[in-house]
Amino acid sequence: MRFRYHQPVPDFYKIENPKNPKTIIKDNILKEFIDIVIASNFVGLSYSKLSDEFKKEWKIDWDNIIILKYVMSHDILKMNPSKEKCQLMDEEFQEVGIKAFALADVLREFGFEADLINPLDDRVSLRAIAMQSNDAVITRSNMCMFKEGLNIGFFMIKTSIENLPFKKENDMLWVSHYCSTCGVCVDRCPENAFDEDGKFLRKLCTAHREGCSKCIDLCPFYKRGYDKVKKRYGRMKNE
Ligand code: SF4
Ligand code: SF4
């Protein structure tokens, strides 16, 4: 059983959802859950509270989303586009996905409803949900970037937990201005997947078809990390 495009999400759960799920998580239980997530090799969590407007737009009735973030292997990203690279990326994705099911089971065991959102179902954009967390931005190269880095993949769990530490403001919005001063991905894209105004052209990008990740490899956020680029941006603004 694997995650496949446009197929129902596979069922790797070992525990049923509780009949009367709890809605409030105590601090110590959330901390315990976060520790388990980190011990499972994820690098962090973000949380999205979906607004009524958002739910209406995407025709969903989910409220609370936990985002489980993992680092995509540097070795794989650095490979040239190829069938083998695509396969390795998919294998990594499938392996992490199994762990995400186990984490949903942990929440079920704690008494909460928890269901993995199908990561390969186009009916709702996971990136749009990620943006609702106020903890991510879309870069000029069309990557969904969290502070943990540019090479971050993620799985999402929808849950009955109402009191997750949702962020109200996004402190990463400066990135779009930084991107407007950089443009390395636009200049160096081998497929010219940007129009004359530097706007990303999805149809020309071969990231999904052939595994291109050149713009990640070249991006200052990947090379230096979020915090260092932010410091540099602060200095640039004061010059
Ligand atoms: S390479 Fe430059 S313009 Fe492109 S996403 Fe990275 S920072 Fe932004
Ligand atoms: S993934 Fe490759 S093709 Fe797509 S925008 Fe980046 S460099 Fe261009």
SS3 percent helix, strand, coil of the chain, rounded to 5, is 40, 15, 45
* Position in ligand 1 atom list of the atom nearest CA 145: 5
Q: Which residue has the tokens 């799985």?
A: 155
Q: Which residue is closest in CA terms to ligand 2's atom 8?
A: 189
* Closest atom of ligand 1 relative to the 141 alpha carbon: 5
CA dihedral 156, 130, 122, 201 (to 10 degrees): -140
What single-letter amino acid sits at 133? Answer: S
**Paired tokens of 207:** 């990231």
Nearest atom (ligand 2) to Cα of 81: 2
- The reported pLDDT for the residue numbered 232 is 92
CA gap 133, 136 in Å, rounded: 7
Q: Is the pLDDT of residue 5 over 80?
A: no
d(CA 174, CA 138): 11
Sign of the four-CA dihedral 101, 104, 123, 175 = negative
Residue 150 Cα to ligand 1 middle (Å): 10
pLDDT of residue 2: 82
Q: Give the pLDDT band (50/70/90) at residue 161.
A: very high
Query: CA nearest 178: which of 137, 128, 207?
Result: 137
Question: Does 79 have pLDDT greater than 90?
Answer: yes
pLDDT tens column, 6-54? 777 888 899 999 999 999 999 999 999 999 999 999 999 999 999 999 9
- Tell me the whole-structure pTM to 2 decimals: 0.94
For 172-220, write each residue's pLDDT tens digit: 999 999 999 999 999 999 999 999 989 999 999 999 889 999 999 999 9
